[in-house]
Chains A and B, each alone.
Chain A
Amino acid sequence: MSTATHITQAPATSSAPSAVTAKALKASASARRARSAKIKLWAGAILTLLVFLPIVLANFLPLADPNAQNLGARRLPPLSDGYLFGTDQLGRDLLSRILFGGQTSLMIGVLAVVVSGAIGVILGSIAGFYGRWADVLISRVLEAQMSLPLLMMLLLVVALFGPSIPVITGVIAIAQWPEVARLTRSLVLVEREKPYVDAAKTLGLHKISILIKHVIPNVFKQASLVILLLLAQAVLLESALSFLGAGPQRPFATWGRLISDGQDYITTSWWMVTLPGLVIVALVVGVNLLGDALRDGRPRRKNRKEA
Chain B
Amino acid sequence: MLTYLPKRLGQGLLTVFLTVSVVFLLIRLAPGDPAAAFAGPLATSEELAAVREQFGLDAPIFQQYLIFIGQLFTGNLGTSYSFQAPAMTVVMERLPYTLTLATSSILLAALVAIPLGMWMARRADTGGEVGVNVLTVAGQSMPDFWTGIMLLTAFSVVLPIFPASGFTTWGGLVLPTITVAILQVALISRMVRREMVNNFNSPYLTIARSRGVSERLLTWRYALGNAGIPVFTALGTRFAAMLNGVVVVEVVFGWPGVGSLIVRALETRDYPLIQATVLITALLAVAVQLLIDLAYPLLDPRVRLGKAASV
A interface residues, Cβ below 8 angstroms from B: 29, 32-33, 35-36, 39-40, 43, 139-140, 143-144, 147-153, 155-157, 159-162, 232, 236, 239-240, 243-244, 256, 259-260, 263, 266-267, 270, 273-274, 277, 280-281, 284-285, 288-289, 292
**In the complex, what residue of chain B is closest to A34 when comparing beta carbons?**
B125
In contact, B285 and A240 (Cβ under 8 angstroms): no
**In the complex, what residue of chain B is closest to A280 when comparing beta carbons?**
B143
In contact, A33 and B124 (Cβ under 8 angstroms): yes
Q: Which B residues are in CB contact (< 8 Å) with A155?
A: 247, 262-263, 266
Question: Taking the nearest CB of chain B, how far is it from the CB of A296, in angstroms?
Answer: 10
- Give the residue of B31, B141, B240 whose beta carbon is less than 8 angstroms from that of A147: B240
Q: State the CA gap A155–B281 with chains docked (Å).
A: 14
Question: Taking the nearest CB of chain B, how far is it from the CB of A42, in angstroms?
Answer: 12
Binary interface profile of B, 240-266, with partner A (CB < 8 Å = 1, else 0)? 110111011001000000010011001
* Chief secondary structure at chain A's binding surface: helix
* Chief secondary structure at chain B's binding surface: helix
In contact, B137 and A285 (Cβ under 8 angstroms): yes
In contact, A284 and B141 (Cβ under 8 angstroms): yes
Q: State the CA gap A166–B196 with chains docked (Å).
A: 42
Q: State the CA gap A157–B286 with chains docked (Å).
A: 21
Q: Is B19 an interface residue (CB 8 A)?
A: yes
Q: Which A residues are in CB contact (< 8 Å) with B259?
A: 152
Stretch of B22-30, B62-70, B107-115, B204-212 contacting A (4+ beta carbons < 8 Å): B22-30
**In the complex, what residue of chain A is closest to B23 when comparing beta carbons?**
A156
Q: State the CA gap A43–B248 with chains docked (Å).
A: 29
A-B contact list, 30 entries, CB within 8 Å: A39-B130, A139-B310, A147-B282, A148-B15, A148-B282, A149-B245, A149-B278, A151-B244, A151-B248, A152-B244, A152-B262, A156-B26, A161-B31, A162-B31, A232-B141, A236-B141, A236-B143, A243-B143, A256-B143, A256-B145, A263-B149, A273-B149, A277-B149, A280-B141, A280-B146, A281-B146, A284-B142, A288-B141, A289-B134, A289-B137
In contact, A156 and B274 (Cβ under 8 angstroms): yes
Q: State the CA gap A273–B248 with chains docked (Å).
A: 16
Interface size class of B (residues with CB under 8 A): 35 or more
Known contacts A156-B278, A240-B143, A281-B146; 17 additional CB pairs below 8 A are: A36-B125, A36-B130, A144-B19, A147-B240, A147-B289, A149-B243, A152-B277, A153-B23, A156-B27, A156-B266, A160-B27, A160-B31, A162-B31, A256-B145, A267-B153, A277-B146, A280-B143
**In the complex, what residue of chain B is closest to A139 when comparing beta carbons?**
B310
Q: Which of B57-78 contact A (CB under 8 A)?
A: none
